[in-house]
Amino acid sequence: MGPEIEIKGVSLQYAQHIILEKITHRFEAGKCHVVMGPNGGGKTSLLRSILGLTPFKGEININWLGDKGRIGYVPQKATFEPSLPLTVMDFILLNQSRFPLFFRANKKHQQVALQQLARVGMADRALLRMGQLSGGEQQRVLFAQALLDDPDLLILDEPTTGMDDQGVRYFESLLTELVKEKKTVIAVHHDISAVRRLQAQVHVVNRTLLDSGSVSEVLQPAKIEQLFNHYGSAKRTTNMTPDTNKKAEVA
């Protein structure tokens, strides 16, 4: 079972620019959560704060039910130099073991890597250079990398960016599978129809937490209009839990 994530009064700013302002929230364990909001609204910063990749004020607790589990992460974008001879297989092996890439490859490691790549439909691309792949294909490989250790918590930052329909189908079926296994998934997503298909919990972040609830509660036609407005122009919605409502007022 995946962990619960508890966020208490988290604020984040770069120089004078405020990114997140006193967010208090709880991501339930074993569910799929989608974080939505406009560009520059602080979604990525929230994810990076949860992962401890950026300094913030406040408190974030990852409450594991039992032993500390594993975390999988798909970053928003990874840049791979086209001329670097790093194959898709190399990249997966790199994440998988300490066994140096310049030694004769371990057959077992290779098999596991190929299995993971097959889950995202990339096994036939294993010998291509990472830099040769399209953005969508790179995202698929990054997703395979995140699934390597059978993670209990999966954090995905715009995982379907640049993906074709087939890639999105692989992604959605894997996500559904993971949620069935009671893993906790938190993903930043922009595609409203895809979020509807996932039947996830939706959380709208734009410097503060503006809205949170099920797809039917948050993604109503009247609210969608304001979903991607920049901070200041976004109106507070009323369909919030008492806790988040209070936070919105403070902000």
Taking CB under 8 A as the criterion, the residue among 86, 123, 174, 192 binding other proteins is 86
Q: H/E/C letters for each residue in the chain? A: CCCEEEEEEEEEEECCEEEEEEEEEEECCCCEEEEECCCCCCHHHHHHHHCCCCCCEEEEEEECCCCCCCEEEECCCCCCCCCCCCEHHHHHHHHHCCCCCCCCCCHHHHHHHHHHHHHCCCHHHCCCEHHHCCHHHHHHHHHHHHHCCCCCEEEEECCCCCCCHHHHHHHHHHHHHHHHCCCEEEEECCCHHHHHHHCCEEEEEECEEEEEEEHHHHCCHHHHHHHCCCCCCCCCCCCCCHHHHHHHHHC
Taking CB under 8 A as the criterion, the residue among 16, 39, 55, 98 binding other proteins is 98
71 binds other proteins (CB under 8 A): yes
Residue window 135-154: x/- pattern of binding to other proteins, with contact defined by CB under 8 A: -------x--x---------
Question: Minimum distance between the CB of residue 131 and other proteins, rounded to whole angstroms?
Answer: 10
Question: Minimum distance between the CB of residue 28 and other proteins, rounded to whole angstroms?
Answer: 21
14 binds other proteins (CB under 8 A): no
95 binds other proteins (CB under 8 A): yes
249's tokens: 């007022």
Question: Minimum distance between the CB of residue 83 and other proteins, rounded to whole angstroms?
Answer: 6
89 binds other proteins (CB under 8 A): yes
What residues are paired with 59 via a beta bridge? 8
Taking CB under 8 A as the criterion, the residue among 16, 39, 102, 238 binding other proteins is 102
Closer to other proteins by CB, 81 or 177: give it: 81
Question: Minimum distance between the CB of residue 117 and other proteins, rounded to whole angstroms?
Answer: 15
Question: Minimum distance between the CB of residue 146 and other proteins, rounded to whole angstroms?
Answer: 8
Residues of this chain that interact with other proteins (CB under 8 A) are 48, 51-53, 71-73, 75, 78, 80-81, 83-87, 89-91, 93-95, 97-103, 105, 127, 129, 142, 145, 155
